[in-house]
Amino acid sequence: MSKPNQLHLILLAGGTGSRASGGRGAPPKQFSTTRVGPLFAVSLREFLRLPESSGFHLAGVTMTVADAWCENAVQGLKDLLPPDSTVPWQTADAGVTRTASTWNALQVLGTGYDGGASGPAPAAAELVAIHDAARPFASFGLLARVANAALAAGGAVPGIKVPDTIVRVAEADEAAGALPPAIYLKRELLYAVQTPQVFRWDILQAAHSIAAAGGMDFTDDGGLLASRGHSPAVVDGEQGNWKVTTEADLRRALDLLK
């Protein structure tokens, strides 16, 4: 059996989660307590089940977190990845934007692992998966499918077909008092993008370096790479891999995790 491909995981957990807050003083959504531990740990626990028969070995975890919640993050990582674990872990500072958070994680990952067990930095052709901690129900099967596509294309993202009719609003002629006209898009060509997203280390690091130097911000890493001419492949996502955004979403997630 051939040696599995190394797959490094970046878990983005630095957001404030204000739209899903349970009230003043409540933790950010990714640190909400569930029956199976903090919310951020749900997807991580699933990804740790990734079998090497998938062709991939989870080489390490880098988690972005705000200073105020770093202690909670470290404890959660220790619970899942104790000292005898073969998967090294570390934390990185959360940035003011999603793009900045990923860049912080890439810089830390570029020096190797310093938490838990130790491990080297990724080689150029190794893969890096980036996942939002606010998507707790992603499966390791999805991670494997996206990683397989990234091996061939240099980068891949999961997406689900959009069921609604989508329009793009053109610029309105404000001087004439006209309402903006709708430009209808072909629904069969539209996908809603999810995470985890997987990319080659060298392509991902180079694109983020340029974005950081230019102060550029993107809603996801696939969009950043597409702006550099590295459009990722799209893999069928999972309907259950929805994002906890609002307080209602959080209540739904907590109920499901009972």
Q: What is the pLDDT of residue 18?
A: 52
User: Lowest mean pLDDT: which of 103-112, 171-180, 243-252?
Assistant: 171-180
- What are 223-226's contacts with CB under 8 Å, separation 24+? 224/99, 225/155, 225/199
How open is the CA angle 136-138-142, to the nearest 5 degrees?
165
Tell me which of 27 and 73 has the higher pLDDT. 73
Q: What digits encode the pLDDT tens for the residues 176-235?
A: 667 788 899 999 999 999 999 999 999 999 999 999 999 999 999 999 999 999 999 999
Residue 213 in contact with residue 138, Cβ under 8 Å? Answer: no
Collapsing DSSP to helix, strand or coil, 142 comes out as helix
Average of per-residue pLDDT values in the chain: 92
Q: Is the pLDDT of residue 174 over 80?
A: no
In this predicted model, which residue has the larger pLDDT, 176 or 60?
A: 60
Question: pTM of the predicted model, to two decimals?
Answer: 0.93
pLDDT of amino acid 101: 98
pLDDT digits (tens, 9 = 90+) for 62-91: 999 999 999 999 999 999 999 889 999 999
5-159+192-256 fold: Spore Coat Polysaccharide Biosynthesis Protein SpsA; Chain A (3.90.550)
Q: Pairing state of beta strands 5-12 and 56-65?
A: parallel
Q: How many Å is the maximal CA-CA distance in the chain? A: 69
User: What contacts 172, CB < 8 A, 6 or more positions away?
Assistant: 178, 179, 180, 181
Cα–Cα distance between 203 and 187 in angstroms, integer? 30
Residue 190, pLDDT score: 97
In the predicted model, is pLDDT for residue 169 greater than 90? Answer: no
Residue 225 or residue 119, greater confidence: 225
Examine the pLDDT at 61 and tell me if it is beyond 80. yes
Q: Among 173, 162, 186, 160, which Cα is nearest to 239's? A: 160
Q: Would you list the domain boundaries of the chain?
A: 5-159+192-256
Q: Higher confidence at residue 137 or residue 179? A: 137
